[in-house]
Structure 1
């Protein structure tokens, strides 16, 4: 059972001007896996605020997994990757590469996503796009990767090779 935090980055969502469909979908998908969503927030695209929350959720709340949704594109206020990079101790470039790989056949605009993934202390952090459609296409394909990564982050020394 993973302890999860979901952070939605949306100026409009944080003001109640837009419903957070992607964050709600992530919550549903996590709970379907038997994971417990302990933290869920919708905040504006403000780098300092994102950094503060990510650090708190990793350092004080000791979450196993944090998924962000939104703020990964090239719009001037999209700062999620920069904020995430600031808190990561280890980057995992293969996860965002895989996310883009999954998305390319569906939309060439996947080339514009700048999400990050990595580890701070014993917490896995992954940035996802802010679209419910993208969440449906991507997140189910990440489940096994997330489970395995969290096991390794927590110190599981078993072999990674699969037969």
Structure 2
């Protein structure tokens, strides 16, 4: 199942294409409403990213196909929601990690840190982050709360990641003190 959502598309330029992939057996089967995927699309749209949404079952091949297709289709950012827990069918990190050219563990660590401030079990998320073929790929847990916590972290670094992947220099990020002046 695939749907395109234009939220924020009028503000997004051509280089700010994203894909959101919801990983859920029940949402893919139509027996549960996907709340986290549409929320991620909306939050990315608010940040100026045009995001397409796809829902796939908790299956290694389906997840990997979705990520590969998103990157091949021009997405510079891919956010997955769901499948990062401990249940036997939670396989999003296992599907994602082999696709990555480089891991960016600091992103996943920060997502877990911020999430655990609100809910202790956020530290159990096994989500990974990294890059593939010029795109940032990040796994988020499948709850709306995890998406609300995680998307701002991703949005805060994605432009720098994309710039670096395109050969940009290492311009220092503004410190909090620089941002105040």
TM-score (norm 2): 0.84
| Residue 57 (structure 1) aligns with | 70
User: Which secondary structure state, in structure 2, belongs to the residue aligned with residue 41 of structure 1?
Assistant: strand
Shift >3 Å, 4+ stretches? none
- Give the equivalent residue in structure 1 for 2:109: 97
Equivalents in 2 of 1:161, 1:138: separation in Å?
20
Of residues 19, 30, 51 in structure 2, which corresponds to 1:5? 19
Q: Distance in 2 between matches of 1:67 and 1:34?
A: 15
Helix, strand or coil at the partner of 1:42 = strand
Q: Greater Rg, structure 1 or structure 2?
A: 2
More RCO (CA 8 Å, sep 6+): 1
Question: What is the root-mean-square deviation in Å for CA atoms of aligned residues?
Answer: 1.3
* Gaps in structure 1 of 5+ consecutive residues: none
- How many Å separate the matches in 1 of 2:102 and 2:40? 24
CA contact (8 A) 1:22 1:132 kept: yes
SS of match in other structure, 1:104: helix
How many residues align? The count is: 161
Normalising by structure 1, what TM-score?
0.93
Q: Deviations over 1:67-98 (max 9, x none)?
A: 00000000100000000001101110000110
